[in-house]
Structure 1
Amino acid sequence: MSRGRTVAVALLLVLAVLGSLLAGVGLVRSVVGVDEARNQELAAAQLRHLVPAVAAGADDDMARLFPEGRELTQALVAMAALDLALADGSGTDQALAAADEATGVLRDPATAARFGVQGGGVFLQGWALQVEERRAALTGRPDDAADVAERAARLAASLRAGLDRGEPFLESYPGRRWPVDTVVAVSALARTGADDDLVQRWVDAAGPVADPATGLLPHEVDAAMRPVEGPRGTSSLLESAFWPDVDPALSARRWAVVTEVFVVRRAGLVGVREHPAGVPSPVLGDVDSGPLVAGVSLSASAVALAGARRHGDAVLADSLQREAEWAGVPVQLGPARRYAGGVLPVADAFLVWARAQPHDLAPADDLAPADAEVDAGTGTAAVVWPWPLAGLLVSLLLAGWAARWLLRSVRRGRVGVAQRGIS
């Protein structure tokens, strides 16, 4: 028997054993689920990895992946750390360090200049104010509150000027307007206690721009507020985490539509389709959606988790948590936890930001409450466990076959040695 084949089978045995261990752990995670206490523990463990990683330059790697990668990674990590600190008072020093790191990037004049719009554009201003408002709430210092009020006033002035021109959605880049960016900014203004009349005026102006079929905002509009591209899963789900700050009642009604249009169940798993049914999707996706698998956006699941938590959709949140704990391949080294080996910090950042979201809204009337039994036909709940179970069975079969082959090979070798000794 050739030595090369023996080495190959031995390697297969090692991989099959490792696969069995991983699948077994994944099976346990998919069955046990993540309650709120465990959710907070996981988020804290993620931050113990992410905060120092971002400070060491992990956000720069994301800038090479997509244009806003650095800024978005910084903002998400800081917001998650601040939200957890505001919730229970833990990790305050870490949260303030993450916030200072993020604002140093988001308020850097060089960053604003790169966006090419006065003041850095609504994307940069909105995410920066989200971080700064939370930081001021955590410190409780009057000078921090005054600084936030000043920055909010400038953003409000830009929004008011846009509304006066009949443009509720502001520029993020020269000539480019993504409504989700303005939603984030208006949410930040609402959190700062900005003029309620201005927020309501914006809601009224945004309504006529919405897609007539679904009532959801377009993914992109032009300067005349005409849709460049209709509603998409990634942007609609991201907006859903911020709409509760803007208009809670509208947000609850909107969430029911978002989940109906974009949340799907396929092969037992819950996913988010990037485009509504019947709208063609690029085979590989794009910079906004990330990779697509059969039209489902892999990057949108964490975003959906944030919206589910904000709207009290416990069924969907639980399904997405189970999938993250299985398919995300989490690795915890000491107190720090990372997903997919930590090779994509922005994905880790979206997940920890989603986990830190408060679940402070009651479900809409047509959403299942936390203690409701789930109708398997709704397409909202996931049945995750068959996938790791299948992986476990396949790995065990391969391990068994490889072990049996090697054992027989060893026995044949011993018989050959004995026969040579007799002769």
Structure 2
Amino acid sequence: MGSSTGTARHSFRRRFTIVVALVAAVAVACLLPRWWCGRDADQWYRGDPATVRGLAEEMVAFEDDDDRWRAGGGADRVVGMWGLLAHQMTALGLAQVSLEHPEWRDRYAPVVTRAAVKSLLPQLRSEFTSSWHGRDGLAELDSPDGHAYLSYPALALGMARLVDPAFPPHLAAQHDALIRAFERRLLASPTGLLDTFPGEAYPTDVAAVAAAIAVHGRATGTDHTAVIAHWAQQVRAVQIDRDTGLVIQRMGGDGRAHDAPRASGTGLAAYFAGFADRALAEELAAGLFDQQRNLLGFSAIDEYGDGHSGAGDMDSGPLILGISMSATGFALAPARAFGHREKFTRLYRTTDLFGLPLRSGDRTRFATGGVIGNALLLAFLTSGPELAR
């Protein structure tokens, strides 16, 4: 009897130990990745100087290396529209850092201007020039054609002008002319849309146009209220899909949809809208966050709204079960700018998991994104409420 009871107790303890071990293993498996991948989230959300400076210095090193390469007669390190995006987002990110940490402005403001100037290089917009049959939009500012892709260097120039006291006068004159052209074109558009390619308008690019106009106003004191109000009204009336709250990815200038409402375009539009119209940016962010999918403390953004589907492309990146890593990264900006700490933390965990941050000396980079990914993340991780007016 005693032996049988002892055997039963031993068997119970053994089963109990196995159950406890399994529970502990599951708890560790669930909690350890979210802790590890989220360990820097709060520092980024708060704008911790040491955390922010690591990625900022990485982008300064990129611009320095690019300058040395060019001085030696080398070709572009990052080509075409990817080069345009890399220099533009570097300028935006370092300008945002300068605004949030004024003590660093002397170091970063000149780099902002250098990056903004490089975003004007003709070879970086060659794809757009080719689509317009060799016509360079920067050379024909009197044209009624949209050339909305020029919003990217225009916004970079505006941020440089905002933070750099030594911004060159000849660049200021060129910037003024570009903004006047965009203001005239946007006010003349009944849909609030401007073509990026002939017959093809992207609401995200037009949001960048509005951002460039708004930042020009902040830098120069020029009143652009009327054009910003017109743009915002048409975004709400024409460009947002009412069922999903997402902007339509591609449209004709007449307001007809050429694509589905999608999260990647909405996320980037929400970031740009934050420079121009805070209320509209929050509306776009709300539609974007409705696409948020959560698992074990991680969040990611579903690219297509309900009732729509499609493949990934250069805007969304490859889709994994419908999830867009690009849209997930874009969502960091409105999450921080509008005070959504928990959303920011969940999104950052996913960014950390797939981005693989690496530290080397005083610099930090995300290994899987390359130069463009790091430039984008600097801009989105430092987007702040002072930009969303």
Determine helix, strand or coil for the equivalent of 1:271: strand
Conserved? CA contact 1:274–1:297, under 8 Å = yes
- Length-normalised TM-score, structure 1: 0.70
| AA matched with 2:201 | R
Q: Which has the larger radius of gyration?
A: 1
Q: Displacement of 1:227 after TM fit?
A: 0.4
Identity of aligned residues (%): 21
Conserved? CA contact 1:180–1:235, under 8 Å = yes
Distance 2:206 2:84 in 1: 16
> C-alpha offsets along residues 238-290 of structure 1, whole Å, 9 cap, x if unaligned?
11112233322233233223211x211135420011111342232xx211111
Q: Displacement of 1:146 after TM fit?
A: 5.4
Q: Displacement of 1:95 after TM fit?
A: 2.5
Conserved? CA contact 1:309–1:357, under 8 Å = yes
**Counterpart in 2 of 1:345?**
371
Equivalent position to 2:277, from 210, 222, 247: 247
Gaps of 5+ in 2: 1-30, 70-74, 139-145, 218-222
> C-alpha offsets along residues 29-81 of structure 1, whole Å, 9 cap, x if unaligned?
53574234564432321121222224434995653xxx521101111111111
Determine helix, strand or coil for the equivalent of 1:272: strand
Distance 2:87 2:357 in 1: 21
**Higher deviation after alignment, 42-51 or 303-312:** 42-51
Q: Higher relative contact order at CA 8 Å, sep ≥6: structure 1 or structure 2?
A: 1
Conserved? CA contact 1:26–1:325, under 8 Å = no
CA gap of 1:213–1:278, structure 2 versus 1, over 3 A, is closer
Distance 2:51 2:148 in 1: 29
Gaps of 5+ in 1: 1-22, 363-423
Conserved? CA contact 1:308–1:314, under 8 Å = yes
- Number of aligned pairs? 331
Distance 1:81 1:339 in 2: 17
CA gap of 1:133–1:92, structure 2 versus 1, over 3 A, is same
Equivalent position to 2:42, from 34, 38, 48: 34
**Counterpart in 1 of 2:336?**
309
CA gap of 1:56–1:141, structure 2 versus 1, over 3 A, is closer
Distance 2:321 2:161 in 1: 43
**Counterpart in 1 of 2:121?**
108
**Higher deviation after alignment, 108-117 or 185-194:** 108-117
Equivalent position to 1:134, from 140, 149, 159: 159
Distance 1:80 1:344 in 2: 16
> C-alpha offsets along residues 7-32 of structure 1, whole Å, 9 cap, x if unaligned?
xxxxxxxxxxxxxxxx9898445357
Equivalent position to 1:171, from 189, 195, 198: 195
Distance 2:326 2:122 in 1: 30
CA gap of 1:85–1:360, structure 2 versus 1, over 3 A, is closer
**Counterpart in 2 of 1:119?**
137
> C-alpha offsets along residues 158-207 of structure 1, whole Å, 9 cap, x if unaligned?
2233x1xx342111122321110001111221222242112112222333
Equivalent position to 1:49, from 44, 58, 61: 58
Equivalent position to 1:157, from 184, 192, 211: 184
Conserved? CA contact 2:91–2:159, under 8 Å = no
Conserved? CA contact 1:311–1:360, under 8 Å = no
Determine helix, strand or coil for the equivalent of 2:214: helix
> C-alpha offsets along residues 116-147 of structure 1, whole Å, 9 cap, x if unaligned?
24525644321112111121121246846555
Determine helix, strand or coil for the equivalent of 1:257: helix
Q: Displacement of 1:112 after TM fit?
A: 4.5
**Counterpart in 2 of 1:368?**
none
**Counterpart in 1 of 2:102?**
89
**Root-mean-square deviation (Å):** 3.0
Determine helix, strand or coil for the equivalent of 2:300: strand
Query: Where in structure 2 are the equivalents of 1:372-383 lying within 5 Å?
Result: none
Q: Displacement of 1:228 after TM fit?
A: 0.5
- Length-normalised TM-score, structure 2: 0.75
| AA matched with 2:231 | W
Distance 1:42 1:270 in 2: 22
| AA matched with 2:157 | E
Equivalent position to 2:384, from 349, 358, 363: 358
**Counterpart in 2 of 1:394?**
none
